A = this chain, B = another copy of it.
């Protein structure tokens, strides 16, 4: 009974280091818990200030997030595309954004001395794409295009690991509608889709009125995770349920009901942002459609961003303790780790093949866990040590195979690392427990 070695812990590239020891470029300043844990536990590795290698466990987690996002984007008619990263600087001139862009914008020249922007966001590219095939008939709208690609921003002070990096993974959607009313409807649908995405991820979030910043537009919302290290301050009014980025509020008073006492201010990490853009980009970049009467008109746009690498780190930030990483079940690189006895122990002899059989059977009984069960085959280590490692990395369930797995009715020690429950369960109880408690 051979387990595919890619699900054996000893074969996974997960360099575990104490961060203070690594003599690497630029991450002497560990500014957040999630950054330190993800570096120490081999989820990411620092490459340069604000730039990281995603290691295999990090990619596995990221792929789960991408799948949720892809799935929900499809449900609202999103069509996946991919825009280039290098954007002709002229487009940014035409949209009027270049002059205010400042040093956060990476710029470069090609061999012919033509200027390019290493794009942090693609409103111009999306508008230009539609413009290049314009005018499309009004019948072809609404149009909702999205991509999941690396974005670039030359942060003055990159910090918090993946949360404020210079190169990061973003899902960005650009929508096109034929009038303001349909654009508003689209905006509401996509915001609702974002609600669903964050509900599926399973980390508590808030949606509040947002600032439009340098993207612009008439209406904006931000999606936040509450966290001490959050760089945004968000005002919540207990009186009237109003909530907004504090930048929108003149004082610590609720701008809607005017009551100060009932207001809470929280530090938050922005993980998503939506913008109703109007014709801010479509007009200068000529993204048009042909109306019923045959007249070319400017399209009404929206744009919608989810910081995928940031969501990963922010989830870990919210859920982890200083010493132990925690993930939402939906994003954990693996959900279950099986810990067989140490090589040479008497338990090892009496439980031969039990771990391998259990491995296969879990995947059979709970198909959602396919590729989500890991075998800790580092048999030179004690069960105790490996159990501790499992706690640190934060797999939801550590199933320890010990002496009791050789009883007439074999019992397994199930450690629910999220809830700190340890129980002995027979095989069917084990499947039942996992099925009932896992939030996938």
Contacts and interface: CB of A to CB of B under 8 A. Distances in A.
Given A59-B80, A106-B108, A136 B15 contact: yes
Given A56-B79, A150-B150, A132 B6 contact: no
Given A51-B86, A132-B24, A166-B86, A156 B15 contact: no
Interface centre among A59, A79, A84, A129 (most CB of B within 10 A): A84
A388 interface: no
Contacts of A106: 86, 108, 110
B167 A85 contact: yes
Contact of A133 (B15, B54, B116, B139): B15
A25 interface: yes
Interface in A76-113: 77, 79-88, 103-104, 106-108, 110-111
A80 B63 CA distance: 10
Tell me whether chain A's interface is mostly helix, strand or loop, or mixed.
Answer: mixed
Nearest to A83: B53
B111 A156 contact: yes
Contact of A84 (B48, B62, B133): B48
A108 B108 contact: yes
A297 interface: no
Contact of A145 (B13, B83, B116, B152): B13
A232 interface: no
B77 A5 contact: yes
Nearest to A11: B77
Nearest to A103: B111
A125 interface: yes
> In the assembly, how many copies of this chain are there?
2
A56 B83 contact: no
Contacts of A179: none
Contact of A53 (B13, B53, B84): B84
A12 B79 contact: yes
Nearest to A42: B133
A307 to B, nearest CB: 15
Contacts of A48: 84, 86, 88, 116
Contacts of A46: 132
A52 interface: yes
Given A81-B54, A82-B53, A82-B59, A13 B47 contact: no
Contact of A81 (B53, B150, B156): B53
A86 B24 contact: no
A130 B110 CA distance: 31
A47 B22 CA distance: 42
A108 B246 CA distance: 36
Interface in A255-298: none
Contacts of A24: 132
Contacts of A62: 82
Given A108-B108, A111-B103, A129-B45, A56 B81 contact: yes
5 contacts: A6-B79, A23-B132, A56-B145, A85-B167, A106-B110
The 9 closest A-B pairs by CB, nearest first: A15-B133, A108-B108, A54-B82, A56-B79, A51-B84, A103-B111, A59-B80, A84-B167, A24-B132
